[in-house]
Amino acid sequence: MLPRTTMTRVGIKDVARTAGVSVTTVSHALNGKGRLPARTRERVRRVAVELGYRPSATARNLAGGRTGLLGLAVSQADGQPFVLSDFAYFAQLMSAAASAAIERGFALVLTPPARGAGPSWSGIDVDGAVIVDPVRGDPYVRALREAGVPVVTTGRVPGDGEDATWVESDHVAGTFTVLDHLRRRGARRIALVTSPLVTSYAIDGERAYREWCLAHDNEVLVAMATETLTEAAGYAATAALLRRADPPDAVYATLDRLALGTLLAAESHGVRVPDDLLVVGCTDSAAARAAKPALTALSVDPEAVGRRAVQLLADLVEGDPPAERRIVVPTRIVTRASTRRPARTA
């Protein structure tokens, strides 16, 4: 057994010296390159393992002409700015993305969105980028592609071509799941509170809602949150629904903060949740769990979305075509008090 270095990092020269070969031979043996005898390749690899040698990601990136940096930005629709830290979904996605980047030997650089301009990571060159929730005709995505930078989006760019690479939650199936859940609990006039139809998740959710309404003879009741995507926007959209002569008996909101606004609107209008109104929000969060009543949520697994997006991007950057260029992440409903009404029997 070879002695293991403990206090200092083992370098490629240490492996070469112990194995009695050149640094080039070690590099070829560990990278699967060059014409080496199988015995030599195996011996170098064994020595590297026993010494505890780990390749330097920085050196590997420099050798490959890369920076070792991946960018991540969240797109925003014009007129709808928001603070990323106010949304649990983005924090969860970014945390998982950062961990996945480190696992692949990259660092993740976050940037605030800058509408009307190309991508900028404070003048830092990146090897590729993840764009979260791209809008129709997204300027970030367009500028990156024009510069020849690999791009993966979380959510499709509406109207994008078949060659695009993306990861997204299954909002179509998720919307059907939510609406079926509400119907089983007695709802017969289900409304949708949603954001403008400029992102794939909003487009998919609204389309699925209309298809479901047609199949179940449910009147289409759509209220659009046209302000910033906050509780105030959800309150205003829901209040308009509740002032109708025939108000809804259930609301599905496509963002958790819009759903929290729905709860506030119901309270201010004397509408009891869940007795008079059932409420579900898309995306789960600590705020949804702490709401009064606790909010039933469609969990869209942002951690899986962020992780898979970075894995796809790393494959593209490293020149390894991914087996899948379009990945759909399953969703699940988390039932809480806001819909905890006895289910109807058949």
3-class DSSP assignment, residue 73: strand
pLDDT digits (tens, 9 = 90+) for 192-217: 999 999 999 999 999 999 999 999 99
pLDDT digits (tens, 9 = 90+) for 283-297: 999 999 999 999 999
pLDDT digits (tens, 9 = 90+) for 75-115: 876 655 555 555 788 889 999 999 999 888 899 998 765 54
Residue 151: φ, ψ to 5°: -135, 135
Rounded distance, CA 247 to CA 238, Å? 10
Tokens describing residue 155: 């959510």
Asked if residue 111 is part of any domain, the answer here is yes
Local confidence band at 34 (pLDDT 50, 70, 90 cut-offs): low
Better pLDDT: 149 or 247: 247
Residue type, 53: Y
> What pTM was computed for the model?
0.78
Q: Are residues 34 and 182 in the same domain?
A: no
Its domain, for residue 23, covers 12-55
Question: What number is the average pLDDT over the span 222-250?
Answer: 93
Range with lowest mean pLDDT among 120-129, 297-306, 331-340: 120-129
Q: Which CATH number is 45's domain given?
A: 1.10.260.40
Residue type, 329: V
Rounded distance, CA 72 to CA 130, Å? 5
Asked if residue 132 is part of any domain, the answer here is yes
Q: Are residues 142 and 200 in the same domain?
A: no
Question: Residue 62 pLDDT > 60, yes or no?
Answer: no
Nearest to 277 by CA among 250, 311, 247, 239: 250
Asked if residue 84 is part of any domain, the answer here is yes
Q: Are residues 285 and 314 in the same domain?
A: no
Rounded distance, CA 208 to CA 77, Å? 22
Q: Are residues 195 and 292 in the same domain?
A: yes
Cβ proximity of 261 and 292 under 8 Å = no
Q: Are residues 181 and 286 in the same domain?
A: yes
Q: Are residues 177 and 121 in the same domain?
A: no
Q: Are residues 238 and 275 in the same domain?
A: yes
Local confidence band at 45 (pLDDT 50, 70, 90 cut-offs): confident
Local confidence band at 118 (pLDDT 50, 70, 90 cut-offs): very low
Question: What number is the average pLDDT over the span 119-125?
Answer: 59
Question: What is the number of other CB atoms lying within 10 angstroms of the CB of residue 253?
Answer: 32
3-class DSSP assignment, residue 39: helix
Asked if residue 177 is part of any domain, the answer here is yes
Sign of the C-alpha dihedral, residues 123, 124, 127, 131? negative
Q: Are residues 188 and 239 in the same domain?
A: yes
Q: Are residues 51 and 96 in the same domain?
A: no
- What percentage of the chain exceeds 70 in pLDDT? 85
Range with lowest mean pLDDT among 11-20, 111-120, 298-307, 318-327: 111-120
